[in-house]
Amino acid sequence: MGVPGGGTGSSRGRVVAAAASLVLLIQLSSCCASPAAAAATGGGGEQQGAKYKDPRQPLNARVEDLLRRMTLAEKIGQMSQIDQENATAGVISNYFIGSVLRGGGSVPAADAPPEAWVEMVETIQSAAVSTRLGIPAMFGIDAIHGHGYVYKATVFPHNVGLGYTRDPELAKKIGAAVALEVRATGIPFIFAPCLAVCRDPRWGRCYESFSEDSKLVQQMTSIISGFQGEIPASSRLGAPFIAGQRNVAACAKHYVGDGGTTRGINENNTVATFHQLLGIHMPPYYSAVIQGVSTIMVSYSSWNGVKMHANRFLVTDFLKNKLRFRGFVISDWLGLDRITSPEHADYPLSVKLGILAGIDMVMIPYQYKEFRDDLTLLVQNGTIPMSRIDDAVRRILRVKFTLGLFENPYADTSLAGELGKQEHHDLAREAVRKSLVLLKNGKPGDEPLLPLPKKTHGSILVAGSHADDLGRQCGGWTIKWQGLTGNNLTAGTTILDGIKRAVGPAGTDVVYSESPDAGFIQRNKARFDYAVVVVGEHPYAETAGDNLNLTIPAPGPGVIRNVCGGIRCVVVLVSGRPLVVEPYIDAIDALVAAWLPGTEGQGVADVLFGDYGFTGKLSRTWFRTVEQLPMNVGDAHYDPLFPFGFGLETQPLKA
């Protein structure tokens, strides 16, 4: 089935057209454009006057000049990415650490402002540029749906929601906004976007995927051009590109096949022929490489039993050599450790397999001493050739020079006001509106319930655990890895807040009851003109979200039965994927899939009350029962509750 696009342009057309041709990809050049000239950094005093310090020199000349000056220890340091908690000045300088990440919960302080993040990053950077060669460190962070770990950042809908907008231009704008918010905290590198083609919603990372359809995921890679800037038509495609200091280095992940594992089990095995892998899971990476994506993260998963972190054919032969990807390949968190079972059982073997497979930077994040010692020995005894080390470091330096880190290692403090900027909240609210999918609107023989009237004779009942819970509507990767519940985690508007603001000017009374019982409904049903029931999944991330039954969590089903059994109701489902709804569909007057909308709950109310119409279309199949899974558009046996591409539409009400 064809996938409707959401807004096209000459640049996106060029990308999609190029991605369609493997022949063109094979011809991609390995060269990079030089970054703009700027003031030199202050580190590496004895190297002053060196060619790599001169921004007027061609990029490749700078890379080669620096590479020839480096010791093996310095090269291995550049290949090491450690957790911020370990990134003391002593560790950075003694181990020549090339990259640091914000890992398991490390933040400057609770509710830290941008200035505190900048200070944390600059402390690390100061140590890096004070080393012998003055090579700046690259600080990276997960920005899965906005700068979600940072207090008061704008939290956009997760990729699952953006896929339902089918709007690549909107995705690009979101990418640009996220880049600015990340830069506001002094960070130049993000682990996004996820380009998984999720083929089974039982997978706990399915909400990080734009769609089950590779063509739609490919279209939504436009977010990379938002993160990094639009690659000029004259650029050598395949080389990393970052437009400037208002952009960040992006990371396409998780290469490759992470969304196709058996039964949707996280980090599991994807069984597919090479032809199937190329047809389903690889196309988004074609577009990512063409747009100049800076880094690509390898998947924990396996392809036909071979761990991706040890798959030289796909990482080196195909991605680097066939597609001419010239950025660097990074492991996932402890990705090398997980090559063996049990984890870390034979670390020298894991290091050997991972580095020879083509991984350039290793997310260690704690055992940096062991990594250095093992890799040093493997090089010294000839197991890993120096040419492989040089290839890895050359790629890392290429990205650092392209990013402008040597000229601008520290934060631009004028960007602090970009975090949580009103224009970004407005953009997120637009994304929420466009992501909503109307699945049902009125029982047979009845008038449509939506859009809801703002002015009523009686009151409006709002019910459900997700109506007044910012954490639940944001989902995972928000403040904490697994997400949080409640309204005190960050700044935003709940769906209940949005409803109250929408009907407030009309003087309509809104009554909120999180879990009303049947007795309450029976006593008060004459009081309510209609009800809005907001239920869904609890926050989760990765393996914790793997789910083999996909039912609406309690008390959601009970609230639906109680409320919709006595009052005309619209159910708003807040979830990272389709859930089993067929048992309740007849009792529901209207059903809206809101996905994981983020901090802008007002966007849900905008459409419920007709300020805007419903336009979202399913980018994944809505199954009837989990026994049907996996079931995707184009399958020979396809009997969904709601098919791929489905979505009722409404027109905005005139003011």
Sheet with 528-536: strands ordered across: 437-441, 590-593, 569-574, 528-536, 459-463, 510-513
One-letter amino acid for residue 161 of the chain: G
Identity of the amino acid at 460: I
The angle formed by the CA atoms of residues 620, 622 and 627, to the nearest 5 degrees, is 115
Strand-pair partners of 99: 81, 138
Token pair 């979202």 in the structure block, residue: 616
Identify the three-state secondary structure at position 572: strand
- C-alpha to C-alpha distances, 104 to 67, 372, 578, 605, nearest whole angstrom: 32, 22, 29, 35
First-to-last alpha carbon distance for the chain, in angstroms, is: 38
Q: Structure tokens of 537?
A: 């999944």
Burial profile 425-456: b = 16 or more Cβ within 10 angstroms, e = fewer:
bebbbbbbbbbbbbbbbebeeeeebbbbbbeb
Of 542, 642, 644, 638, nearest to 216 by C-alpha is 644
**In contact, 149 and 142? CB cutoff 8 Å:** yes
Q: Which of 332, 407, 537, 606 is catalytic?
A: 332
Identify the CA nearest to 424 among candidates 176, 115, 172, 601: 176
Q: Which residue has the tokens 């409006």?
A: 460
List of E strands, 64-165: 80-83, 99-101, 138-141
Q: What DSSP string describes 212-243?
A: SSHHHHHHHTHHHHHHH-PPPTTS-TTS----
Per the annotation, the verdict on 542 as an active-site residue is: yes
What type of residue is 428? A
CB 261 within 8 A of CB 301: yes
230 is catalytic: no
Q: From the candidates 542, 546, 600, 606, which is the catalytic residue?
A: 542
Neighbours of 651 (CB within 10 A): 10
Reported as type and span, the H/E element at residue 418 is none
Q: Which residue has the tokens 């089990």?
A: 265
- Catalytic site positions: 332, 542
